[in-house]
Amino acid sequence: MAESMPLIGIPADYRVLAGAGVHIADETYIRAVAEQVGAIPLILPVLGETLDLTSLLSGLDGVLLTGSQSNVAPARYGGEISDPGAMHDAERDAQNLPLIKAAVSARIPLLAICRGFQEVNVAYGGSLHQKLHEQPGRLDHRAPFGQPVDIQFDMAHPVEFPPGSLLRHLLGTESAMVNSVHWQGVDRLADGLIVEAVASDGTIEGVRIADAAEFALAVQWHPEHRPAENPVSRAIFAAFRAAVLKRAEWRRGKV
């Protein structure tokens, strides 16, 4: 009998469309999980604090936290009130912030991207700049407005991988070009996070969770965009895949 494919949970965003609540996830993340990791992407409904995380995580082999048009609510990290019209997702915040620590405690591989990267910092007690481009000395990390998707997600700036970092080990290089499609960025780095990548303006763009027993990496850029064409993206997803397969093998042995 063929072994079942690993399951990777992708927590959804919560939106209200035409008066109805919907739970949605961007297709690029779903395809990256299916094609680069070789796993079944499982979209997790956003049930906030009512979701039984222990039961949920017991059936998963990995968790991928996606980017989003919404931002983590400033109240979650003691930030100033957002500008009128800023998009937030209280349901996602309520679910993902505790989910991150629960997944790490359960030894489940975790890959966090863009908003997910910011969620990791907030979950561990860090804070965010809401408008990184307005901070003195910082680059404008936003995508070029009104351009086609491939131009928005084109390589934008280099990041450096510190000595001893996981990314330097995986990539075999000290730096690489990445895309840049974000307004927010790390302000105060949370205790318990180790810097994995830094942009030339000092913006932290990658971290790993220090006390995680398994793969637990977060990046500010978007490796899910056309990942097969980018060696950095391929290396990140390959490392995630190895950890996911290890978890899946352990779970099958527990049945």
Residue-wise pLDDT tens digits, 176-203 = 999 999 999 999 999 999 999 999 999 9
The whole model's pTM is what? 0.96
Per the structure block, which two tokens stand in for 140?
A: 């404008």
Tell me how long the chain is. Answer: 255
With contact defined as beta carbons under 8 Å apart, do 64 and 9 qualify? yes
For the cut 60, the answer to whether the pLDDT of residue 229 exceeds it is yes
User: How many Cβ atoms sit within 10 Å of the Cβ of residue 29?
Assistant: 23
Chain position carrying tokens 């399951």: 7
CATH number assigned to the domain comprising residue 221 = 3.40.50.880
197 in a domain, yes or no?
yes
Is residue 1 situated within a structural domain? no
Asked if the structure places residue 172 within a domain, the reply is yes
pLDDT for residue 95: 95
Within-domain flag for 229: yes
Q: Would you say residue 64 lies in a domain?
A: yes
Q: Provide the pLDDT for residue 49.
A: 76
pLDDT at 1: 35
Inform me whether the pLDDT recorded for 10 exceeds 60.
yes
The residues, ordered by sequence, that sit 6+ positions from 252 with a Cβ below 8 Å of its Cβ are 3, 4
Enclosing domain of residue 54:
7-254
Token pair of 254, please? 């527990």
Closest alpha carbon to 79 in 182, 218, 184: 184
CA 19 to centroid of chain Cα atoms: 29
Task: Count the domains in the chain.
Answer: 1
83 in any annotated domain: yes
pLDDT level of residue 145 (50, 70, 90 thresholds)? confident
For the chain, give the mean pLDDT. Answer: 95
Q: For residue 254, what pLDDT is reported?
A: 67
Number of CB atoms found within 10 A of residue 198's CB? 19
pLDDT at 165 > cutoff 60? yes
**Any domain includes 2:** no
pLDDT of residue 2 exceeding 80:
no
Query: What is the C-alpha separation between 237 and 235, in angstroms, rounded?
Result: 6
Contact 206, 171 (CB under 8 A): no
Catalytic residues: 114, 222, 224
Cβ pair 209, 203 in contact under 8 A? no
Is 11 inside any structural domain? yes
pLDDT of residue 146: 87
Mean pLDDT across 110-133: 97
* pLDDT exceeds cutoff 50 at 86: yes
The whole-number pLDDT of residue 255 equals: 52
